[in-house]
Amino acid sequence: MTVIIEEQAPVRATPRRVRLRHWRRLTSRFVRSIGPHAFSSLTRRIVILNLAALIVLVSGILYLNQFRAGLIDARLESLLTQGEIIAGAIAASATVETNNLTIDPDKLLELQAGESLTPGLNSVEGLDFPINPERVAPVLRRLISPTRTRARIYDRDGIPVLDSRHLYSRGQILRFDLPPGTDDEPALFDRIWEWVKIHLQRDDLPIYHELGGLNGKGYPEVATALDGSPSSIVRITDRGELIVSVAVPIQRYRSVLGVLLLSTQGGDIDQIVHAERMAIVRVFLVSAAVVVVLSILLAGTIAAPLRRLADAADRVRRGVTSRPQIPDFSSRRDEIGHLSQALRDMTASLYNRIEAIESFAADVSHELKNPLTSLRSAVETLPLAKTAKAKARLTEIIQHDVRRLDRLISDISDASRLDAELARQDAVPIDVARIVDAVVSISREIAAPDGPSIVLDVATVDQDDAFVVLGHDSRLGQVFTNLIENARSFSPKDGVVHVLVRRNGPAVDVIVEDDGPGIRAEQMERIFERFYTDRPEQEAFGQNSGLGLSISKQIVEAHRGRIWAENRLKPKANRDAEPVVLGARFTVRLPGLSG
C-alpha cells in the first residue's frame, strides 16, 4: 500500500492577525513596564486624584448642562407656533346652525352690520360659533399625527371637547402610556438611575396631574388662554419625566371660542437629554481610560525611580563591607533628579565620614601607643634603677609622657566634637579684624620676653562691615591662635610674626607670616594631616600633638572658606639665581558677609 503525504502550504498571516499580534506585543510590553509599580500607593493616589477631577468635571456638566434648558425653550417655541397654526385652522372651521341653516362666518363679512339674517337673530355679534368636534377632529388628526404631541381642545367654559388620544382613523392602533407594573421590583441599576435622574431635575418644577374629563380650568395655562393670552408651563411627573404644555386661545373675530392645549408626551425631552448624557458618559469613560493609562505612565516615571532610590538606600543601610551605589538620575531636570544627586552626595559624604572616622581611630591608636609604650618602659625600668640620678631621669620621662598623653587626649577630644559643635551652634555675623586683634593681644601677653615679636596690620577700608563674616567667633579665634603659635614656634627669637587682615573682593583674608625656615616642598600638602609634625631639631620631642593645623583646616572648611600654606620667597636678583626662602605664609580666606 502506498501512502501519499501531501505537504500543506504555509498559512499566510492575514492583516487582522498581524494587527492582533502587534497589539498583544504592545500590551505585554506595557504590562511589563508598569507591572512593578502599577498598584503602588503613589500610583493609586495619582489615578484617584486625576479620576476625581474628571468625575467632578463630568458631574458639573451633567448637572449644569444648558442643553436641557435650551431644548425646553426650543420645544416651547415650537409648540407655541404649532398651536397658533392649529388654533387658526380650528377657528376657521367653526360654523353655526340656525333652524337647519348652516352659516359660514366668512360669508358674513359681505353682509351689512345689523342686517337681519334669520328670525331671532338681529346682528352678527349675536351669533355664537361653537367648535364642532366632527369638523375639527379630521383637521386636528391630520395636523397632530406627524408629531408626538398631545392636543386637547376645551370650549370657552373649560369643558373638554376633543383629545388627540381618542382620535383615530380606520385601521389605526391606539397606544396609551400605562403606568409601570407594581408586581416586579426594578433592578438595582434602574433604581439608582431613577434616583440620579430625579435629583438631576429641577426642584422648583410643579407636579403634573392628569385631569382627564374634568374642567380644563384646573390647568393654569388653560385659564390664562381663556382670557385671550397664550400661556406655557413646564411640569414634571411623579416618575421624573418632563412635560411641556402650551395653551393657545382659539379666536374668531376677537371672540375666544375655546382653548387648544398642546403638550409633549412624558419622556420625550427626557429621552433626548438622556441620549445627550449617555454621549457625555461615553466620552467620560474613554477619557477615564486615557487618564488611567496616562496616570500609570506618569506614576511609572515617578514611582519607579523612587523605588530604585529607596532600594539603594536600603542596600546602603544594610551594606557593611560593600559600598553600594545610588542610581544616578541627575540627567532629569526635575525633583527626582535633584533627589538622586542629593542622595548620591549624602552617601558619598557618609562614606567619607566613615572612612575619616576609621582613619582617625587608627591614627589615635597609633599616636597613643607611642607615649604609652615609653611610659610602660619607664615604669618597668624604675624599680631596677640603682642611682638617684637614674630614678630622677625615669621619673622625668614618666611625667613627660603623662603630659604628652594629656595633651593628646585633649586635642583628640577637641577634634572629635568639633563637627557636632559646629552643627549645633548657629552662625552669627562676627568681625574678623576684632577677633584677630584680641588673639594677637593675648599672644603678646603670654609670649616669652625673649621670643619673636608679633605685628598686626589691618587694612584701612571705608566700609564698616568690610571684615564681617558669618561664623563662630570662638572657633575662628582658635584657628588664628593655632596659626600664630605655629609661626612663633618656627621663628627665631629675634624674628617677627606678621599678621595681616585684608579685603580680597567678596572675601576676607587673614595672613600669618613667620621668619622661620619655611616648608619643604614635599611636605607642603602633608602639614594639614592629622598627627603630622615637622618641628625644628632643637625643639623638645612630644611638645606638639600634630592636630593644630588639621583642626584649623576643619574649622575653616566648615565656614565655607579655604586655608593654604606657601613659602615667602626673596625677590631674585637675576633669572638664574636660586630662590631664597624667607619664611612660611599661611592664608585663611573666608566669604565676607557684605560681599
510-558 tens-digit pLDDT: 999 988 888 887 777 778 777 666 655 544 444 555 677 888 888 888 8
Domain ranges of the chain: 65-96+128-167+187-266, 333-416, 426-591
Q: How many CB atoms lie within 10 A of CB 11?
A: 7
pLDDT at 175 > cutoff 60? no
Report in angstroms the alpha-carbon separations of 345 from 319, 320, 330, 338, 353: 17, 19, 11, 10, 12
CB proximity list for 394: less than 8 A, separation 6 or greater: 378, 381, 382, 385
Residue 61: pLDDT over 60: yes
What pLDDT, on the 0 to 100 scale, is given for residue 590?
A: 92
Bridge partners (DSSP) listed for residue 592 = 469
Instruction: Give the number of residues written for the chain.
Output: 595
CA 290 to CA 297: how far, in whole Å?
11
- Please give the biggest Cα pair distance in the chain: 178
Question: What burial letters (b/e) apply to 265-294, b meaning 16+ CB within 10 Å?
Answer: ebbbbbeebeeebeeeeeebeeebeebbee
Can you give the pLDDT at residue 511?
Answer: 93
CATH number for the region 65-96+128-167+187-266 comes to 3.30.450.20
Can you tell me which residue has the cell 392628569? 210
pLDDT at 510: 93
The stretch 86-91 carries a mean pLDDT of 83
Q: How many CB atoms lie within 10 A of CB 486?
A: 22
Looking at the whole model, is its pTM more than 0.75?
no
- CA-CA distance, 84 to 158, in Å (whole number)? 18
CATH class of 426-591: alpha beta
Average pLDDT over residues 224-248: 85
CB-based burial of residue 29 (10 Å sphere; 0-12 exposed, 13-18 middle, 19+ buried)? exposed
| Residue 540 identity | A
Rounded Cα–Cα distance for residues 150 and 145 (Å): 9
Which one, of 526, 441, 527, lies nearest residue 477 by Cα?
A: 441
- What is the pLDDT confidence band of residue 122, given thresholds at 50, 70 and 90? very low
Of 123, 126, 97, 93, give the one whose Cα is nearest residue 111.
123
Lowest mean pLDDT among 51-55, 133-137, 359-363, 579-583: 359-363
Looking at residue 277, its amino acid is R
The alpha-helical segments, DSSP class H, found in 319-451 are: 335-381, 388-416, 418-424, 432-446
Helix, strand, coil percent values for the chain (each to nearest 5): 50, 15, 30
Element (DSSP H or E) covering residue 56: helix 41-64
First to last CA, the chain: 108
Q: By the 8 A CB rule, do 316 and 347 touch?
A: yes
Per-residue model confidence (pLDDT) at position 58: 78
* Most confident option among 317-326, 410-419, 503-512: 503-512
Q: If you average pLDDT over every residue of the chain, what do you get?
A: 76
Residue type, 224: T
- Asked if 458 contacts 501 with a C-beta cutoff of 8 angstroms, the reply is yes
Q: Would you state the pLDDT for residue 298?
A: 79
pLDDT single digits (tens) 449-479: 778 889 999 888 877 778 899 888 888 888 8
Residue 388 confidence (pLDDT) above 80: yes
pLDDT over threshold 50, residue 482: yes
Flag whether pLDDT at 160 surpasses 60. yes
From the number of C-beta atoms within 10 Å of its C-beta (0-12, 13-18, 19+), residue 553 rates as buried
Q: Place 423 in a pLDDT band, splitting at 50, 70 and 90.
A: low
Find which of 274-278, 354-358, 379-383, 418-422 is predicted with most confidence, using mean pLDDT: 379-383
Burial-class residue 89 by CB neighbours within 10 Å (0-12, 13-18, 19+).
middle
The more confidently predicted of residues 280 and 233 is 233
Residue with the three cell numbers 586655608 = 563
In 485-592, the DSSP E strands lie at 496-504, 507-513, 562-570, 580-591
Phi, psi for residue 359 in degrees, rounded to 5: -65, -40
Q: Within 10 A of 582 (CB to CB), how many other CB atoms are there?
A: 17
CATH class held by domain 333-416: mainly alpha
Mean pLDDT for the stretch of residues 559-568:
89
Count of beta carbons in the 10 Å neighbourhood of residue 462: 5
**Dihedral pair phi/psi, residue 456, rounded to 5°:** -105, 130
Burial of 64: CB neighbours in 10 Å, binned 0-12, 13-18, 19+ = exposed
Distances (CA, A) of 269 to 84, 149, 189, 238, 241: 21, 12, 22, 15, 8
- Of 174 and 384, the one with more pLDDT: 384
Strands (E), 206-271: 231-236, 242-252, 255-264
